[in-house]
Chains A and B, each alone.
Chain A
């Protein structure tokens, strides 16, 4: 089946979307490769869904161009764009059976009757719903309904698959299972997919590349590893993954030594920042228990302790403006730690990323 799909790159150039003076999306330039699993990640209201709906043709962008394959789709109405969309609320047709739901797009395309039967059966098999043809949507669980909708979107062999938080309404366990299935299906079909989510863990685990969006703008485009380990700015660092953010003073341009607010000095990873105030990002799992006092980069007392099974999460007061968040593996040493105990934490300087200081990124 994958051989008959026509997959297309999606190229957005200078896309801006505004409603009555309010700019929802601005200056978006993204090149999505053919067959790529591309995720738009960001907090609610960042414009990611608006952008996806614009690609589908439900909104009209104010300026810029959107190209699917070699076709500029700006003025092509939604029903002629040849995209397959999966909605957050399923958008299953409640008055049609599973089979009729999946066949819906094929019938409207005038596909011959025999071929419809084959392709629907094929699509239902792919989402593991063989034998459910005659069920009505209300007889299905939420996960099954979502799989019907995925089958309905892929059966038309769209140029690009658009997914708007398709797993948001499912429970946590099912969400993880279905996202693995989704990724496997996408790989098998080799279909260009644009996926919208606010769940950073989901985005990291499923995507080839991610565009992190905030306030209508694209902050960074990169592989999950790039976005996580080398965030291009403080907003991305704050949104993707957790961490502690410390104010510091850079002693020299492109230098590695910084002074913390308590006057202590620290070495950080390589950077290109100029001398002056900076923000340091520390991932909780990069902080390790210091067995020797002189190893410790920070020392303080434990404020809170939460047990998570594979790790213990601590908030540690080290006399700075914010407490450090640390995630320690469950070991003999870490297990005995209690609230109020003194503790030393060490960190590899290469793991400390610095960003230019800005007041508004503080929130």
Chain B
């Protein structure tokens, strides 16, 4: 029999299953997010040498010595120009593809997805094959007498980073276009506006929140990208390269002060950009309800050809690097020079192809499983437990978006690499960094599905005598399966090509495919790099194919 005693409402909330899970969630964020970043911040204030007496010593150096602040200004200029480039290419492309009757839309969308899932720096090194000192395209152009500049330096960086950012812009602009109601355009036309003025005055303003999100993503990605500048930047100093080289210098002495301070600056810049974008988007969001989205318009033949040619040109430019990687992976290499001869030798002989493939698949799978398990629980707490703790977890789960891979790399190396954890070079440190970087995908996916779902079924289960923990397992989890699956696949697809944190944290036995590609590129073995790169592209595509075919998602789901 149950107790018959009555008691007044106690001061303490009942300690049930979800209280324990909330503690677990807080613990995870404290351990994997707050602790490493806080530790890094602390280290940045430590003395970097005997001459350093001021607590802000390193920071004073950063902003007074040209060596450092030039890297910062370089990075800012490069990222801004690349963002503008990505917008200039992506916005018109998205508008053309979603509004006009040009042929081959499916092929365009497929190419966008392909360039989206490609490892970040693959664009950079295949442009060397095309437009390097000895590049195929450059030689061909030289044969007809045209002297084309090489891909190295500012121009090449801007081109590659713009093309890398373009898919973000395309996808987010496309998604924003879907929320514009046809009546907006009709009304503008009805009031006597010409087509371009209609776009400029009625449609574009509604796209601004989406476009600004894309701009933020492109900016932050370009700002924190290490691979591309390392491959084609030559001696150009940008911030992530600076961090990496300071890190390499310092690991021997075990002194992370400078690398940490630089990471803190990078972190502040990304968070600053995030805050600016959020404020901008909030001011330009109108919360309009879409009844019928914009309909495709029929263009007259001449304009249609121009629009189609523009779209194909951009797409060709964006997918050229990928095609180059795939094609060269099947060509024979002689003394580091790629010949025209077809062969499968590359796949049979590539060093470390299998070991890096096994590593990559293992870490990715492990990280995805952990992300899904933890993401389900935190996503549930955020959307179902409307407590102050839930709001805090919600905020914490947004933070990894703003923290660059390089920064996590430095922070994890400084915190978990040495005593008392000694995780440097282990698989565990890689899995942990992947988990914290991609945890937001599972959390968002689960919490947004739960937010749309009533609590009735869960309450019915509890009412039938099943305690909260079991109810979560037997009712909630089966009901949110689609969200779990899509969160998992997105995690998998992005972890598999992670590079910026991995390059700092990997060890001799924990090399992943993205690092292997990078090492081969740096060593000048483009043939081997292409082989590993092609395999990487192929396995990155697996979850995307599942997402699209099995779950009926479209490409806008990726962002």
Q: Which residues of A contact B (CB under 8 A)?
A: 56-58, 60-63, 65, 70-85, 87-95, 104-105, 108-109, 149, 152-153, 156, 162
Contact = CB atoms under 8 A, between A and B. Distances in A.
B457 A62 contact: no
B477 to A, nearest CB: 10
B478 A95 contact: yes
A62 B9 contact: yes
A90 B465 contact: no
A145 to B, nearest CB: 12
B5 A72 contact: yes
B8 A63 contact: yes
B465 A82 contact: yes
Contact of A95 (B16, B467, B479): B479
B464 A105 contact: yes
A108 B479 contact: no
B1 A71 contact: yes
A228 B9 CA distance: 37
Contacts of A65: 6
B16 A77 contact: yes
B142 interface: no
B14 interface: yes
A328 B133 CA distance: 100
B463 interface: yes
A285 B454 CA distance: 42
B466 interface: yes
B461 A93 contact: yes
Nearest to A78: B462
Contacts of A79: 462-468, 471
Nearest to B10: A75
A74 B467 contact: no
Contacts of B461: 93, 104
B4 A108 contact: no
B470 A83 contact: no
B13 to A, nearest CB: 9
Contacts of B465: 79-80, 82, 105, 108-109, 156
B2 A76 contact: yes
A84 B470 contact: no
Which of B5, B454, B464 counts the most A-chain CB atoms under 10 A from its CB? Answer: B464
B7 A75 contact: yes
B460 A91 contact: yes
Contacts of B2: 71, 73, 76, 80
B463 A77 contact: no
Interface of B: 1-9, 14, 16, 454, 456-457, 459-468, 470-471, 475, 478-479, 481
Classify the interface of chain A: helix, strand, loop or mixed: loop
A105 B463 CA distance: 9
21 contacts: A58-B459, A70-B4, A72-B4, A72-B6, A75-B3, A79-B463, A79-B465, A79-B466, A79-B467, A79-B471, A80-B2, A80-B465, A85-B463, A91-B459, A92-B460, A93-B475, A94-B479, A108-B470, A149-B460, A152-B460, A162-B463
Contacts of B14: 77
Nearest to B456: A91
Contacts of B470: 108
- In the A-B complex, list the 3 residue pairs whose CB atoms are closest, starting with the nearest: A105-B464, A91-B456, A91-B460
A329 B8 CA distance: 56
Nearest to A92: B457
Given A80-B2, A84-B463, A91-B454, 11 more contacts: A73-B2, A78-B462, A80-B465, A84-B464, A87-B456, A87-B460, A91-B457, A92-B457, A92-B460, A95-B479, A108-B470
A73 B6 CA distance: 8
A93 B473 CA distance: 13
Contacts of A84: 463-464
A90 B466 contact: no
A64 B178 CA distance: 53
A77 B467 CA distance: 9
A104 B457 contact: no
A74 B6 contact: yes
Nearest to A87: B456
Given A79-B465, A82-B465, A60 B9 contact: yes
Contact of A90 (B6, B456, B463): B456
Nearest to B458: A91
A85 B479 CA distance: 20
Nearest to A68: B2
Contacts of B475: 93
Contact of B464 (A73, A74, A108): A108
Given A60-B9, A65-B6, A75-B7, A108 B460 contact: no
Contacts of B454: 89, 91
Contacts of B6: 65, 72, 74-75
A73 to B, nearest CB: 8
Contact of B457 (A88, A94, A105): A94
Contacts of A76: 2-3
Given A71-B2, A74-B6, A83 B463 contact: yes
Contacts of A87: 456, 459-460
Which of A58, A74, A91 counts the most B-chain CB atoms under 10 A from its CB? Answer: A91
